[in-house]
């Protein structure tokens, strides 16, 4: 009988195990935001519920969870604490690189097993001083020395860098390589040093603690992914990032809409027989939320279909579709929260009201600059100059 709670937890699905984490994330969301601190309670709970390895194949100790289920978890957590949800999403995006591109290397397979068994938290260092958000360019370069490599990177933004157990970092493949000839490596906490160069005191997403660091490491060369980063970015990372981020932003928007509904119900109770003035706007906003959901759900289906055929995954149409998921969901989240602000009025604007969407607004505004929408639209426009866009209604 002593083992009963553990057995029950094991029988629960990952989504069921997330429920208690959501309560903890919600309880600490405001404090995390005000104090600009890592949501430690949420991540202790996620680890206890063994939710950091959910994407890892069961044969390596994970849950083999589908992308759709993980995006849903990002959305559910995003309704409680956007910073927690974004950290969870960023971690899962890093895991997706291991799951998709690490199965031909013994080191990466072993590492995947460790992530699942030890519930390791993975961070990301793609952004670099002098490059900005151009994921597909690096200035820094891998320096190989026999079986080891060294790397120094001006990593201007590494979310939860100080809390990560390992960081996945991009760099040019060698000192003579072109800026786009990149690799990605997994570097473990005891193999790197972080020297803080930039604080994280921002409008929103404050709990992500996305400080800047000079990153210096020395590690075995086998920790570099065997496939070029160009392949990793095109075949999994961009799509995963845009869909999981979309899930987080959907969560922010959905919680804002729930607060508008709660506000209007309270207003209606105060004045029976009178429809509150914001009710029509709520109906309109729920429609926009539904559109946002459709974009994410159809994006997930497009990714699942494309995964089955390499040429589809590398096609212009697929890249355009995934770019559009990012741009449209990031804009929709901010638009929805802004509309809720109009519905809830001063109660939405206040930080101390149950109908407040102040934190939601600040968090949602990060979406458009998290890889700047203008940069993404610039890439899409280049693709559209050389290709047709999809006008069919067949999935
Ligand atoms: C909450 C949050 C967490 C993050 N976490 C991480 C992390 O863990 N690891 C990490 O590596 N990075 C992280 N980032 C950084 C992010 O991925 C981007 O690299 C970063 O937001 C881009 O910053 P930027 O505006 O300086 O750069 P850029 O994208 O270079 O944009 C700079 C300016 O140039 C303009 N611009 C640039 N390119 C174009 C173009 N082609 N067309 C038109 N205009 C253009 C834009 O309008 C923008 O004003 C995070 C960002 C946020 C907001």
pLDDT digits (tens, 9 = 90+) for 152-175: 999 999 999 999 999 999 999 999
Residue 301 lies in domain:
229-385
- Identify the pLDDT of residue 314: 84
Ligand 1 contacts CB of residue 125 (under 6 A) = yes
CB distance 98 to ligand 1 below 6 Å:
no
**For the CA of 369, the nearest atom of ligand 1:** 21
Mutate to test the pocket of ligand 1, among 374, 377, 381, 383 (most ligand atoms within 8 A of CB): 374
| pTM given for the model | 0.95
Asked whether residue 107 is assigned to any structural domain, the reply reads yes
Of 223, 256, 288, the one marking the end of a domain is 223
Nearest CA to ligand 1 atom 26: 132
Which of 66, 100, 118 corresponds to the end of one domain? 118
| Total tally of structural domains belonging to the chain | 3
SS3 annotation, the chain: CCCHHHHHHHHCCHHHHHHHHHHHHHHHHHHHHHHCCCCHHHHHHHHHCCCCCCCCCHHHCCCCCCHHHHHHHHHHHHCCCHHHHHHHHHHHHHHHHHHHHCCCCHHHHHHHHHHHHHCCCEEEECCECCCECCCCCCCCECEEECCEEEEEEEEEEECCCCCCCEEEEEEECCCCCCCCCEEEEEEEHHHEEEEEEECCCCCCCHHHCCEEEEEEEEEEHHHECCCCHHHHHHHHHHHHHHHHHHHHHHHHHHHHHHHHHHHHHHHHHHCCCCCCCCHHHHHHHHHHHHHHHHHHHHHHHHHHHHCCCHHHHCCHHHHHHHHHHHHHHHHHHHHHHHHHHHHHCHHHHCCCCCCCCHHHHHHHCCHHHCCCHHHHHHHHHHHHHCCCCCCCCCC
Last-in-domain residue among 118, 145, 166:
118
Q: Is residue 6 part of a domain?
A: no
Residues of the chain with pLDDT under 70: 1-11
Q: Among positive and negative, which fits the CA dihedral 109, 111, 116, 121?
A: negative
At 10 the pLDDT is 60
> CA-to-CA distance for 249 and 364, rounded, in angstroms?
7
Q: What is residue 7's predicted lDDT score, i.e. its pLDDT?
A: 46
Question: What is the position in ligand 1's atom list of the atom closest to the CA of 205?
Answer: 1
Pair (173, 186) in one structural domain: yes
Nearest CA to ligand 1 atom 29: 133
Does the CB atom of residue 157 touch ligand 1 within 6 A?
A: yes
Ligand 1 proximity of 170 Cβ (cutoff 6 Å): no
CA of 327 to the centre of ligand 1 (A): 13
CATH number for the domain that contains residue 299: 1.20.140.10
Domain contains 169 = yes
For residues 65 and 97, membership in a common domain is answered with yes
Q: Is residue 155 part of a domain?
A: yes
Q: Are residues 68 and 109 in the same domain?
A: yes
Q: Measured in angstroms, how far is the CA atom of residue 375 from the centroid of ligand 1?
A: 8
Q: Is the CB of 370 under 6 A from ligand 1?
A: yes
Residues 245 and 375 grouped into a single domain: yes
311 and 338 share a domain? yes
**pLDDT tens digit sequence for 115-146:** 999 999 999 999 999 987 899 999 999 999 99
Same domain, yes or no, for 287 and 374?
A: yes
Residue 9 has a pLDDT of 54
């Amino acid at each position: 009988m002593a083992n009963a709670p553990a057995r029950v937890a094991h029988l629960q699905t990952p989504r069921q195990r997330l429920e208690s984490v959501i309560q903890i994330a919600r309880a600490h969301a405001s404090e995390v935001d005000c104090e600009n601190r890592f949501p430690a309670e949420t991540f202790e709970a996620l680890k206890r519920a063994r939710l950091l390895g959910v994407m890892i194949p069961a044969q390596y100790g994970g849950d083999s969870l589908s992308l759709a289920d993980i995006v849903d978890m990002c959305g559910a957590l995003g309704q409680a604490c956007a910073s927690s949800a974004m950290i969870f999403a960023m971690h899962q995006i890093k895991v997706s690189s291991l799951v998709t591109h690490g199965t031909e290397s013994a080191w990466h397979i072993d590492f995947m097993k460790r992530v699942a068994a030890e519930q390791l938290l993975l961070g990301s260092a793609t952004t670099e001083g002098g490059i900005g958000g151009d994921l597909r360019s690096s200035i820094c370069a891998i320096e190989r020395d026999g079986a080891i490599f060294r790397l120094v990177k001006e990593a201007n933004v590494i979310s939860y860098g100080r809390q990560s157990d390992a960081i996945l970092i991009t760099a040019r493949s060698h000192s003579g390589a072109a800026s786009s000839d990149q690799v990605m490596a997994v570097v473990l906490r005891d193999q790197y040093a972080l020297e803080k160069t930039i604080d994280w005191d921002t409008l929103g997403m404050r709990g992500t603690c996305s400080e800047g660091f000079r990153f210096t490491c020395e590690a075995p060369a086998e920790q570099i992914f065997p496939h070029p980063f160009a392949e990793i970015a095109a075949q999994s990372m961009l799509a995963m990032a845009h869909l999981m981020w979309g899930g987080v932003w959907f969560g922010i928007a959905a919680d804002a809409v729930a607060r508008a509904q709660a506000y209007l119900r309270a207003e209606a109770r105060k004045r029976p027989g009178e429809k509150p003035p914001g009710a029509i706007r709520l109906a309109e906003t729920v429609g926009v939320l539904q559109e946002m959901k459709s974009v994410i759900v159809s994006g997930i289906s497009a990714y699942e279909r494309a995964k089955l055929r390499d040429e589809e995954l590398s096609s212009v149409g697929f890249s355009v579709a995934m770019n559009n998921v990012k741009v449209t969901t990031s804009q929709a989240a901010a638009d929805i929260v802004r509309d809720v602000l109009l519905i809830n009025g001063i109660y939405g604007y206040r930080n101390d009201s149950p109908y407040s969407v102040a934190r939601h607004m600040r968090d949602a505004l990060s979406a458009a600059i998290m890889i700047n929408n203008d940069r993404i639209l610039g890439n899409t426009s280049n693709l559209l100059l050389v290709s047709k866009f999809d006008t069919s209604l067949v999935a």
